[in-house]
Amino acid sequence: MDRKPPFLPSDLVQMHPGLALLRLAALLAEGSEADEDTLDLMFEQMEVGALDSLSPGEMWPELERGLMAPSPATMVKALRECGVLEVVLPEVAGLFGVPQITDTADEIDLGMLLLAALSEAARRDAPLEVRFALLVMHAGKSDSPREHLPVHHRHIERGVPRIDAICERFGVPGVCHDLALMALNECERVHRVSPVRAGPVAAMLERSGAFRDPVLFEKLLLVATCDYFGYGDRLGETHPKVDLLGQARDACAGVEADGLDDADLSLARAQAIATAFRSERWADSEA
C-alpha cells in the first residue's frame, strides 16, 4: 500500500526549512494530529540540520503561534516526538518522564501535566504569558535528586536561571518572563493555601502583587487554575484555593493603608483575612 504523503502546506515549501519545520508544528496545534509520516518528515528535517542556521529569536514567532493556537499541547507533543523539543527547549523536554507528587497518593508525569495544563489554558482562552508560564515554570524539576522524587527540593533555585536563560534566548516579552518567575515561586504555594493560616496568605498576596499589580495577580491565579486542572479528576470550573485567595483579597479591601507602615499594614491585612476565614493563626508570617 502506498504511504500517504506528509501534510505539508504549499506555503511552507518557500520558507526556510527550519522555520517551515516549526510552522508545521504550530499548524498542527491549530487542529491537526501529527501522523507518522509527518513526524518522520519533521525528524528528517531536524537531522539534516534545518534548525542549525536559525537563531532562537527567529524561532520564537512560530513557538508563539503554536502556544496561542487552540491546541498548544499538540505542538509541544509533536516537537517532542520528532526530537525537535530537545534541541529547541531542552529545559522542557527534560520534564517528560519525571514524576511529580499530587495531593493524593498518586504521581503524575511532569510532561503530561504540562500538556494537560496547556490544554486547559487554551480551553480558557488564556493569554500568551499564562501559556508560557505553564510551559516553563517546572524547568527546575528536570534534574531533581532521584532520592527525593517525586518531591523536588530546591527546584526554584534551579528554575530561576533556566527561565531567565529561556527568556533571554528567545527574546520573549517581559510580561512572559515576569509571570513565569512569579508562577515558579508562587504556584505551588497557591495550591497549599490554608484558611487557618491568614498570615501566610496575607504575605502571599503582597508578594504576588494582589494590591500592587492586580492584573498580574489574576494571571498568576489563572496559571494556578490551569495547573490544578492539569492533574485531572477535578470537579467544577474553579480552583478552591484560588477562590480562597479571592476571599482574602476582598477582605483586605477595607483595610486603610493611610498612616500605616509596611509591617502594620501587613498585620492589618492578616487580621482582616483571619476575620474573614474565622482563623486565629493570623500572626504566622511564613507561607
| Residue 266, C-alpha cell as written in the block | 501587613
Helices (H) and strands (E) counted in the chain, each on its own, are 14, 2
Q: CA-CA distances (angstroms) from residue 87 to 26, 48, 50, 84, 98? A: 16, 13, 11, 5, 19
Average pLDDT, rounded, for the chain: 88
pLDDT tens for 168-189 read 999 999 999 999 999 999 999 9
Eight-class DSSP state of 10 = G
Give the per-residue pLDDT at 105.
62
Enumerate residues 6+ apart whose C-beta is below 8 A from 86: 80, 93
Rounded mean pLDDT of 226-244? 91
- pLDDT for residue 213: 94
Taking the model in full, what pTM does it have? 0.89
- For the stretch 29-79, pLDDT in tens is 998 777 787 788 888 888 888 888 899 999 999 999 999 999 999 999 999
CB atoms within 10 A of CB 261: 9
Percent over 70 (pLDDT), the chain: 92
Instruction: Assign 217 a pLDDT band (cuts: 50, 70, 90).
Output: very high
pLDDT above 70 (res 99): yes
pLDDT at residue 211 is higher than 70: yes
Give residue 9's pLDDT. 56
- Residue 52 buriedness (CB in 10 A; 0-12 / 13-18 / 19+): exposed
Quick check: 132 and 179 in contact, CB under 8 A?
yes
- Predicted local distance difference test score (pLDDT) of residue 219: 97
- Residue 11: band (very low, low, confident or very high) from pLDDT cuts 50, 70, 90: low
Note the Cα 285 to chain centre separation in Å: 27
User: Tens digit of pLDDT for each residue in 138-161?
Assistant: 999 988 877 777 878 788 999 999
Per-residue pLDDT at 18: 85
99-101 and 107-109 strand pairing? antiparallel
